């Protein structure tokens, strides 16, 4: 047997350990039932598995680290269960064939880890309503260039929106609604990306006056936009061509005036 799909069958109880005997299984879909208890460690023995969908059940405890053995896995959906406060599983970073991973609706808590370097093939990430805190890692925009869907809404994320997310090739939906994000919306979010960007419920976000006209037409999805204050915008000192020369010239003039001043003072002392 290569596929075992029993979704929406009102099944209850635990997952039978006998499932681990289906060594040729490529698709395991137990979604939308009333299954509970721990996910058996033996699921990690189903090495040919391409799709694992346990979403919309009542599983609890810790997401088993044995799943890292599923090195052929492309689709992982554990969303809307009752997995405990153990954080986003770090072993996901060791599953390079993953294309979609959904953990939404599990209050696992913690920060979004830096695990994205080997996951460049991922197209969908659902991390909504997970009790996540801290910043959104810029590395997600750097390494996940094929990402089309990113759901980080309804968490407790803070800090700025990484400008690297604006360089995503696909990005048909980037949902960051209902967090504690603040600062300036990056100019890297072109109109193509901004159309699919959802930022409502982040009262600390703002847009620079020069960019307001570009973002204004997307206010429905971005939320009620406000103009940034000076304190919201970092103001780096830009060295432009010629600025260094003018600075050197000013310093030279100041030095010359100081030398002349000391000369007159010395001459005055001699006269006394």
Angle at 203 between CA 197 and CA 206, to 5 degrees: 65
Q: Which of 18-22, 87-91, 104-108 has the lowest mean pLDDT?
A: 18-22
- CA angle (134, 140, 145) in 5-degree steps: 160
Asked whether residue 267 carries a pLDDT value surpassing 70, the answer given is no
Instruction: State residue 210's pLDDT score.
Output: 58
Lowest mean pLDDT among 22-36, 98-112, 193-207: 193-207
Q: Are 34 and 6 in contact (CB under 8 A)?
A: no
Measured torsion, CA atoms of residues 209, 213, 218, 220, in degrees rounded to the nearest 10: 70
* 201 has a pLDDT exceeding 70: yes
Statement: residue 102 has pLDDT above 80:
yes
pLDDT of 118 reads: 96
User: pLDDT tens digits for 170-184?
Assistant: 767 899 999 999 998
Q: What is the pLDDT of residue 197?
A: 83
Q: For domain 3-239, which architecture applies?
A: Alpha-Beta Horseshoe (3.80)
Segment 62-71 mean pLDDT = 97
> What does the pLDDT look like over 122-160, one tens digit per residue?
999 999 999 999 999 999 999 998 999 999 999 999 999
Considering only 1-10, 117-126, 181-190, which range has the smallest mean pLDDT?
A: 181-190
Buried b (16+ CB within 10 A) or exposed e, 177-194: bbbebebbbbeebeeebb
Confidence of residue 211 (pLDDT cuts 50, 70, 90): low
Mean pLDDT of the 23-45 span: 96
Per-residue pLDDT reduced to its tens digit, 39-61: 999 999 999 999 999 999 999 99
Distances (CA, A) of 178 to 40, 132, 202, 222: 34, 12, 6, 11
- In this prediction the pTM is 0.81
Please indicate whether residue 189 or residue 84 has the higher confidence score (pLDDT).
84
pLDDT tens string 187-198: 777 555 666 788
């Amino acid at each position: 047997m290569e596929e075992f799909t029993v979704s929406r069958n009102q099944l209850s109880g635990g997952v039978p350990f006998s499932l681990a005997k289906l060594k040729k299984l490529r698709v395991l879909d137990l979604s939308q039932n009333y299954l509970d208890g721990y996910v058996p460690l033996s699921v990690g023995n189903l090495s040919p598995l391409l799709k694992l969908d346990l979403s919309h059940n009542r599983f609890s405890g810790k997401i088993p680290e044995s799943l890292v053995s599923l090195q052929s896995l492309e689709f992982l959906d554990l969303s809307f269960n009752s997995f405990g406060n153990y954080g986003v599983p770090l072993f996901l970073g060791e599953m390079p064939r993953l294309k979609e991973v959904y953990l939404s609706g599990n209050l696992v808590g913690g920060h979004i880890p830096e695990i994205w370097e080997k996951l460049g093939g991922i197209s969908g990430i659902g991390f909504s309503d997970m009790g996540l805190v801290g910043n959104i890692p810029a590395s997600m925009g750097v390494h996940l260039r094929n990402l089309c869907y990113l759901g980080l809404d309804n968490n407790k994320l803070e800090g700025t929106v990484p400008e690297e997310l604006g360089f995503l090739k696909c990005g048909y939906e980037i949902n960051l609604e209902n967090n504690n994000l603040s600062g300036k919306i990056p100019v890297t979010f072109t109109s193509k990306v901004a159309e699919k960007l959802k930022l409502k419920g982040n009262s600390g976000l703002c847009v620079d006056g020069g960019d307001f006209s570009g973002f204004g037409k997307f206010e429905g999805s971005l939320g009620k936009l406000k103009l940034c204050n000076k304190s919201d915008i970092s103001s780096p000192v830009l060295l432009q061509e010629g600025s260094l020369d003018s600075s050197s010239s000013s310093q030279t003039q100041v030095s010359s005036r100081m030398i002349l001043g000391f000369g007159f003072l010395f001459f005055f002392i001699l006269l006394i």
